[in-house]
Amino acid sequence: MSESAGETSYDLVIIGAGPTGLFAAYYAGFRGLSMAVVDSLPEAGGQVTAMYPEKMIYDVGGFAEVRGRDLVRGLLDQAAPFKPVYLLGRKAEKLESVEGGVIITLDGGQVLRAGAVLITAGIGEFTPRPLPAGDGWLGRGMVHFVPSLKAHEGQHVVVVGGGDSAFDWVLALHPVAASVTLVHRRAKFRAAESIVRQARELGVRIVTDAEVTRFLDRDGALAEVEIQVKGAEPEVLRADTVVAALGFTADLGPIESWGLQIDHRAIAVDSTMATPRERVYAAGDVAAYPGKVKLIATGFGEAATAVNNIAVMLDPEAHLFPGHSSNAE
């Protein structure tokens, strides 16, 4: 890393701190490259942290099962010896090609110069669908994700939504919260039948054909919500936290205008994970080629392929094969 004229320079800038970007950071370090990892979310881990930190994952090599948050922790620990610079809560807005490198401009104007850029932007920036009654309550009792169950120990929690995520949060929160109520505006759920059944068997209160109409505070803190069940009188529920799990919209946003070949929100790459644009590579969910399977395991392999090829592009004397990590000191 080096600084000059308001620019910070790295060998590699990785856009997206999901599992693919985090593994790429480890690999870049292993190849002796300096790197920064940019993500518009405030926490690393991409879809895993945002959507299913408490779920078990069964198809990551080497783990019979691993909880989402533990996988992300492991990825951060693995990369840590190489001191990646994490620029979280920062969106990559602009990409320009310059002599011998690329320039990435972040929202807020920060400028990064790099020998190469690896786009690991997954499904893009995801924005939670809003809960109208909760306008102004985000961070004051309303959340869209539950990064830590501990924060909800002993709380009364109302989960709003009818999809898999809503039921996942219900099942995860049930053992720690004082009460969990699910409120859904239809009678039918989008969630898998098995998890709806599990929630019912646990005795979770499920209120259907109902909407949250008002957030009510006590001394400025969320204390209750009012719900309106179709054809009934409004009801007030205790609520220290409302989890608004109404789904997300995902969007590649600025990346769409970077002159790449993009189809169905995915960037075309060759077998080295290079895009046709010089010094620009992509890996993970965002990268497309015939036969692509969007999985964490695939992203890990693609990250290794991309970074090893980037190492050679940056230094043509370098070997493509990195050597075995088991031989590293």
Ligand X SMILES: Cc1cc2nc3c(=O)[nH]c(=O)nc-3n(C[C@H](O)[C@H](O)[C@H](O)COP(=O)(O)OP(=O)(O)OC[C@H]3O[C@@H](n4cnc5c(N)ncnc54)[C@H](O)[C@@H]3O)c2cc1C
Q: How far is the CB of 184 from ligand X (least distance, A)?
A: 18
d(CA 152, CA 156): 8
Nearest to ligand X of 179, 298 (CB atom): 298
**Is residue 247 near ligand X by the rule CB under 6 A?**
no
* Three-state SS at 150: helix
**Is residue 299 near ligand X by the rule CB under 6 A?**
yes
Tokens of 246: 């109404």
Q: Which parts of the chain fold into alpha helices (H)? A: 19-30, 46-51, 68-79, 164-173, 193-201, 296-314
Tokens of 31: 């190849």
Segment contacting ligand X (CB under 6 A): 39-47, 131-139, 196-204, 221-229? 39-47
* Three-state SS at 1: coil
Cα–Cα distances (Å) from 47 to 15, 36, 39, 78, in that order, read: 14, 20, 12, 19
Q: How far is the CB of 46 from ligand X (least distance, A)?
A: 2
**CB–CB of 236/212 below 8 Å?**
no
**Is residue 19 near ligand X by the rule CB under 6 A?**
yes
Q: How far is the CB of 63 from ligand X (least distance, A)?
A: 11
d(CA 302, CA 96): 24
**Is residue 37 near ligand X by the rule CB under 6 A?**
no
**Is residue 75 near ligand X by the rule CB under 6 A?**
no
**CB–CB of 279/116 below 8 Å?**
yes
Nearest to ligand X of 47, 228 (CB atom): 47
Segment contacting ligand X (CB under 6 A): 19-27, 97-105, 171-179, 230-238? 19-27
**Is residue 161 near ligand X by the rule CB under 6 A?**
no
> At 90, phi and psi to the nearest 5?
-125, 125
**Is residue 296 near ligand X by the rule CB under 6 A?**
yes
Residues facing 292 on adjacent strands: none
> 285: phi > 0 → left, psi -120 to 50 → alpha, else beta; which?
alpha
Q: How far is the CB of 70 from ligand X (least distance, A)?
A: 13
Nearest to ligand X of 84, 141 (CB atom): 84
**Is residue 117 near ligand X by the rule CB under 6 A?**
no
**Is residue 166 near ligand X by the rule CB under 6 A?**
no
**Is residue 180 near ligand X by the rule CB under 6 A?**
no
Tokens of 290: 């015939």
d(CA 103, CA 99): 10
- Which parts are annotated binding residues? 20, 39, 47, 52, 92, 126, 285, 326
Segment contacting ligand X (CB under 6 A): 26-34, 180-188, 273-281, 291-299? 291-299
How many residues contact ligand X, by CB under 6 A?
Answer: 36
Question: Would you tell me which residues interact with ligand X (CB under 6 A)?
Answer: 15-21, 38-41, 46-48, 51-52, 57, 59, 91-92, 120-125, 253-255, 284-285, 294-297, 299
